[in-house]
A and B are shown apart, each in its own frame.
Chain A
Amino acid sequence: MRSKLLRNKWLSHGAVLIAGIAIGWLALPLWRDGLMTWHQQRYGLLVEQCDSAMRDHLQAKLQAANAPSRETGMALYAGEVGLIVCQDYDLYQKRLLQWGLSENELAQMRLKAIEARADDLDEVVATHEIRF
């Protein structure tokens, strides 16, 4: 014999809705944590590679400005092609945003990537210290 409460459609549907929202509310941080853990390694690598590509490009640009030649011109071109990895990084990041990660969480992943390579406290301090 089913209870009268369960037979009331509005009540039962409302209860399911509330339960769904509660589960969703509780599951969201877990989902985000899972995404961050799953993608940390790849995203971290792209952060590092893009950073490195940007620095290489800057070096090549300065070199080409200081000593213009075909050689430095081609080195600059290689630096530009190398920046494609930053597009990979950007696309990957947008994909993570699409899946629900916030800018804050992405920043957290980037920090982890930087700190994963930090050999000592100095590098962590250099990342965080206020410069004025």
Chain B
Amino acid sequence: MKSASRFLLPVSGALLLVSVTVSACDPTRRSDEQLRSTPIEMSDHDLAGDGMRLAVLREAALKNGFVPAESLEIPGDPARQAVGGLIFASPLMSLNGKISCQDCHLDQFGSADGLPNAIGVGGTGHGVARMRSGGGILPRNVLPFWGRGSKGFDTFFWDSRVRLVDGRVISQFGDRAPSNDPMIVAVHLPSVEVREMIADNPQVRDGLVDESVDIAAQIHQTIARRFGADATIGQQLARTYGVRRDAMEFAQISDALAQFIRHRFRIQPTRLHRFVFDRGPISRTELNGGILFYGRGRCAACHNGPYFSDFESHAVAFPQVGFGKNGFGTDEGRFNVTLNPDDRFLFRTPPLYNVTKTSPYSHSGSIVRIEDAIVSHFDPLRLVDTKKMSARARADLYQRLGVAARETLPAQLTDQEVRELVAFLRMLDFDPNASVPSTGAMLQRAR
């Protein structure tokens, strides 16, 4: 009896110590990994805790326009999508026949190119090799393609230079827009953009650069003829569209390309879809991130709707890299399209599907980490060293800060909260190759 009590005393003492330590410790101090791996399931008896948060997140997502992925798809013709895939990968799309759409829209970079500024005509290779290859620099970050042209996605490019307003396409084609479909109008532009798919040389500048719709039509017709003459693509186009190869027009090229992009980069179900519509699992970190996204983070003020974009123009005082659309490291964004001074430094809200795969971020690709992209929204000065900037660069920054300060600003978030937001954004990732067949398979299916 005596020995038993001698044994029990230290054991119970140790147990008391352990229980005090464990209970007094803050559960939120657990490591991010531990938190991330903790799945939370809805339980009816826990409505004041996690259950309430789960319900709030579902409701907030729906209230802010989140819809099932399938409802966004515009059905297309498999044969047209297949030939569009061939056009997407073909350098015939460029006037000098050396650059294709696929050169800058790559799977491994989430359908972008992984570079801060795009490298257009003259560039070779991918990634850093492309940056060093000496191609023409385009002063903006390549946009990924997720959801482009699907239902309601009708505002294109960083500066919204193509958009649907009251059923009418507004673009630089003016009243001679080649289509009522903004997606088709958008695919008309890269092939006539100097440095992007047209070499910037004296011949081009003297012969082609006059900002006229007629010159654009002339270039498009040349490209269409080339595709018509191509043994594989020409034949496929002729069969699919029922036109003679020597009568091929850019209307067929652009339609096929638009159909391919719509299908290949369509929104597919994500973990957030499963969570919202099928009561799927979510980790505590993701849940916290979701609550922040729709709550204190105020992300949904602009990143709302089916694509997590309001398709409006807003300002975030991101650092600027490269020479900028307006030179001297300045990019005045939407102003370049509207010439309205109120639009200076505004850019279209980027959609967020697969966003974690599309680094670098911002219109000039100045931000490498997605965490920093979030920080830029509420604490932009944290990311710049103003002492190392030129007076001109600082003056530009002040202007961008002024515009950005008028936006709906998120609460100051801690680094942990920023990581939670990123965990939530990862719920918007999906693997496009999970259900998308190769172009070859699409061609076979079409036959």
User: A52 to B24, alpha carbons, bound, how many Å?
Assistant: 27
Q: Which residues of A contact B296 (CB under 8 A)?
A: 49, 52-53, 56, 81-82, 85
Within 8 A of A (CB), among B46-61: 53, 56, 60
Report yes or no: B300 in contact with A78, Cβ–Cβ below 8 A.
yes
Report yes or no: A77 in contact with B63, Cβ–Cβ below 8 A.
yes
User: A35 to B301, alpha carbons, bound, how many Å?
Assistant: 39
Q: A interface vs B, CB < 8 Å?
A: 35, 38-39, 42, 45, 49, 52-53, 56, 74-75, 77-85, 92, 99
A sample of 19 cross-chain residue pairs with beta-carbon separation below 8 angstroms, ordered by A number, consists of A39-B26, A52-B296, A52-B411, A53-B295, A74-B64, A74-B301, A74-B304, A75-B408, A78-B294, A78-B295, A78-B298, A78-B301, A81-B295, A81-B296, A84-B53, A84-B56, A84-B291, A99-B23, A99-B24
Give the interface centre of B23, B24, B28, B295 by most chain A CB atoms within 10 Å: B295
Within 8 A of A (CB), among B244-294: 291, 294
Kindly state whether residue B444 has any CB partner on chain A within 8 Å.
no
Within 8 A of A (CB), among B364-415: 408, 411-412, 414
Known: A52-B412, A81-B291. A74 touches B63 (CB 8 A): yes
Report yes or no: A74 in contact with B300, Cβ–Cβ below 8 A.
yes
**Top 9 nearest A-B pairs by Cβ distance?**
A81-B295, A82-B295, A82-B296, A81-B294, A42-B26, A78-B298, A52-B411, A81-B60, A84-B291
Q: How far is the CB of A63 from chain B (nearest CB, A)?
A: 10
Q: Which residues of A contact B408 (CB under 8 A)?
A: 75
**CB closest chain-B residue, reference A99:** B24
User: A79 to B408, alpha carbons, bound, how many Å?
Assistant: 12
Q: Contact mask B414-431 → A, CB, 8 Å, 1/0?
A: 100000000000000000
Besides the contacts A49-B296, A75-B301, what 8 more A-B pairs have beta carbons closer than 8 Å? A42-B28, A53-B295, A78-B295, A78-B298, A78-B301, A79-B295, A81-B295, A82-B411
Report yes or no: B414 in contact with A45, Cβ–Cβ below 8 A.
yes
User: A56 to B23, alpha carbons, bound, how many Å?
Assistant: 33
User: A78 to B151, alpha carbons, bound, how many Å?
Assistant: 26
Report yes or no: A53 in contact with B411, Cβ–Cβ below 8 A.
yes
User: A80 to B295, alpha carbons, bound, how many Å?
Assistant: 7
Kindly state whether residue B45 has any CB partner on chain A within 8 Å.
no
User: A39 to B28, alpha carbons, bound, how many Å?
Assistant: 11
Q: Which residues of B contact A35 (CB under 8 A)?
A: 24
Q: How far is the CB of B24 from chain A (nearest CB, A)?
A: 6
User: A92 to B25, alpha carbons, bound, how many Å?
Assistant: 11
**CB closest chain-A residue, reference B25:** A38
Report yes or no: A84 in contact with B414, Cβ–Cβ below 8 A.
no
Give the interface centre of B53, B291, B411, B412 by most chain A CB atoms within 10 Å: B411
**CB closest chain-B residue, reference A91:** B49
Q: Which residue of B29, B295, B300, B301 contacts A84 across the interface (Cβ within 8 Å)?
A: B295
Q: How far is the CB of B22 from chain A (nearest CB, A)?
A: 12
Q: How far is the CB of A83 from chain B (nearest CB, A)?
A: 8
**CB closest chain-A residue, reference B304:** A74
User: A92 to B24, alpha carbons, bound, how many Å?
Assistant: 11
Q: Which residues of B contact A53 (CB under 8 A)?
A: 295-296, 411
User: A52 to B411, alpha carbons, bound, how many Å?
Assistant: 8
Q: Which residue of A42, A78, A81 contacts B29 across the interface (Cβ within 8 Å)?
A: A42
Known: A78-B294, A81-B291, A99-B24. A56 touches B56 (CB 8 A): no
Report yes or no: A49 in contact with B301, Cβ–Cβ below 8 A.
no
User: A80 to B60, alpha carbons, bound, how many Å?
Assistant: 10
Q: Which residues of B contact A80 (CB under 8 A)?
A: 295
User: A113 to B255, alpha carbons, bound, how many Å?
Assistant: 61
Q: How far is the CB of A54 from chain B (nearest CB, A)?
A: 11
Q: How far is the CB of A69 from chain B (nearest CB, A)?
A: 13
Q: Which residues of A contact B295 (CB under 8 A)?
A: 53, 78-85
User: A83 to B294, alpha carbons, bound, how many Å?
Assistant: 11
Q: Which residues of B contact A74 (CB under 8 A)?
A: 63-64, 300-301, 304
Q: Which residues of A contact B300 (CB under 8 A)?
A: 74, 78
**CB closest chain-A residue, reference B27:** A95
**CB closest chain-A residue, reference B310:** A71
User: A86 to B377, alpha carbons, bound, how many Å?
Assistant: 23
Q: Contact mask B309-347 → A, CB, 8 Å, 1/0?
A: 000000000000000000000000000000000000000
Q: Which residues of A contact B29 (CB under 8 A)?
A: 42
**CB closest chain-A residue, reference B298:** A78
Q: How far is the CB of A25 from chain B (nearest CB, A)?
A: 18
**CB closest chain-B residue, reference A85:** B296
Q: Which residues of B contact A45 (CB under 8 A)?
A: 414
Within 8 A of A (CB), among B82-128: none
Q: How far is the CB of B147 from chain A (nearest CB, A)?
A: 21
Q: How far is the CB of A90 from chain B (nearest CB, A)?
A: 11
**CB closest chain-A residue, reference B53:** A84
Q: How far is the CB of B234 from chain A (nearest CB, A)?
A: 50
Q: Which residues of A contact B64 (CB under 8 A)?
A: 74
User: A78 to B60, alpha carbons, bound, how many Å?
Assistant: 8
Q: Which residues of B contact A52 (CB under 8 A)?
A: 296, 411-412
Q: Which residues of B contact A82 (CB under 8 A)?
A: 295-296, 298, 411
Report yes or no: A49 in contact with B24, Cβ–Cβ below 8 A.
no
User: A45 to B28, alpha carbons, bound, how many Å?
Assistant: 12
Q: Which residues of A contact B412 (CB under 8 A)?
A: 52
